Amino acid sequence: MNAPRQPIGVDPAARSRARRRALQALYAWQLSGNRIDQVIEQFRQEQDMQIADLAYFEDLVRGVERSHAELDAAIAPFLDREIGRVDPIELSVLRIAAWELRERIDVPYRVVINEAVETTKRFGAEHGHTYVNGVLDKLAAQWRGAEYAASRR
């Protein structure tokens, strides 16, 4: 099977780093309760953001913060537990990927899922990536039906 392809002109490594930084920022936001602007500013100062796609990082963080309730509602039917019982890392990864699936149709759904799985492997619980993969596969089938079906042929 061919590897998922990124949109032309995109630095995949910088996008991956942006997703990882977004995960860390959203996790900090969840735990601290600070305003998202404060969290973003803190990350700008503390993290090496030059090697990440800063614009993509901010889009992810602000997008998830703005629409997390809607994203949670969309994710919930595919969970095997209440959303409040999902591991905070896995929940942040799911929210980021759900936002990308809904808002960034320029990014292939397979890229979104692959990035979410790899990020969860790096930061999440031991088998969290399989859980994230299963949830996002079902969400992609619903939200990106034509693209999903075409990839299954």
CB 51 within 8 A of CB 17: yes
pLDDT digits (tens, 9 = 90+) for 51-108: 788 889 999 999 999 999 999 999 999 999 999 999 999 999 999 999 999 999 999 9
- The percent of residues above 90 in pLDDT, for the chain, comes to 76
- Mean confidence (pLDDT) of the chain: 90
Full set of structural domains in the chain with CATH: 12-151 (1.10.940.10)
**Residues 104, 83: Cα–Cα separation, whole Å:** 23
Q: pTM of the predicted model, to two decimals?
A: 0.90
Q: Which residue has the higher pLDDT, 127 or 43?
A: 127
